Amino acid sequence: MMKTRLSLVLSTALLLHFSSGFAQKKVYTFPIGIQSYTYRNSFPKGVAATLDTIQSLGITEMEGGTPKGVTTEEFKKMLKDRNISIPGTGAGYELLVKDPMAVVQSAKELGSQFVMCAWIPHQKGNFTLENAKKAVEDFNRVGKVLKENGLTFCYHNHGFEFQPYEDGTLFDYMVKNTDPRYVSFEMDILWATHGGADPVKLLNKYGNRWKLMHLKDLKKGVKGDFTGNTPQENDVILGTGQIDMPMVLKTAKKVGIKHYFIEDESNIWSYQVPKSIAYLKNLTE
C-alpha cells in the first residue's frame, strides 16, 4: 500500500513538472527584426552576402534604407528573394524638415509603414528647451505630411532628451506637445536607460504613443549621461546587461508594439546578434 501511494505521489509530481514545462509561454512572440545599422560594416562589402547572413539568422524584418551600391529596385528584389520586409525606414532631421515628400517617396518605395528620426540637431552635450520646442514644431508639421500620405512618423529617443524639465524631462515635454495624430515614438531601450529613464515606466506612461522598439542591452555597471554616446563595448548581448528585458518585452507587448529591431552597435555584432536572437526565442514565463 505504501509503495502504491509513493508511486502515485511520484507520478503526480512528475506529471506536474512536465505539465508546467509545457505550459510555459514565450515572452517574445513577434518576427525577429534587425536595424540595418548593425551591419554597417558588412553592407559595403556586399549587399547580397549581408542579406544572406541576415536571412540565415531567421530575421524577417529590417529597419533601414537602400544601401549604397544598389538601386532601390535591386534591393527590393534581394529582400523579396529572402523573405525580408522593411516595415520601417529612417530619415535624417534635416531632410525631413527640408523635403518631407522626398522621405515619403523613399519610404513608400521600400513598402514601409513607419519613418523614424533618431537625432535632433543640438550643441554637443547641451540639448535645451529651445531645441525641444523646435523639434516639436517640426515634428508636428512633418508628421502631418507623412500621415496624409499613409505613413506614421516616429521619433527615436537617444538619451539626451531625458534631462530634467519642470516636474519631468524634456522628453515628457516633447510627448505632451506633439500631436498624437501625427507624431509617435520608437523606444531605444539602451538609450532610454543610458539617459537615466526607466523603459518599463516610459512604456506604461505613454502607452500606444510607442509604435516601434530597438532591442539593445547596456553593459552592467555603466553609468549613463545626456550625451547620447557610449563606447561600443557597452552594447552587449540581450539579457546580459542591466535592462530588465523580460519586463520590457511584456510591457511593450501590452501597449501594442508590434515591430522590434535588434540593434547591435558593438564591433563584435557577428558574435552577439545570434546570441541575442537565441535569447529572445528561448525567453519564457
**Number of helical H runs and strand E runs in the chain:** 11, 12
Q: Which helix (H) or strand (E) holds 269?
A: helix 269-282
Alpha helices (H) along 85-148: 93-98, 100-109, 129-148
User: Looking at the predicted structure, is the pLDDT value of residue 210 above 90?
Assistant: yes
Residue 176 banded pLDDT, cuts 50, 70, 90: very high
How many angstroms separate the CA atoms of 99 and 84, rounded? 28
Which domains are seen in the chain, by residue range? 26-282 (3.20.20.150)
pTM for the full predicted model: 0.91
Helix or strand run (H / E) with residue 58? none
pLDDT digits (tens, 9 = 90+) for 2-35: 444 544 444 444 444 444 445 689 999 999 999 9
Please list, in sequence order, all residues whose beta carbon lies within 8 angstroms of the beta carbon of residue 262, skipping any fewer than 6 positions away.
32, 33, 34, 35, 38, 214, 215, 216, 238, 273, 276, 277, 280
Q: pLDDT tens digits, residue range 233-255?
A: 999 999 999 999 999 999 999 99
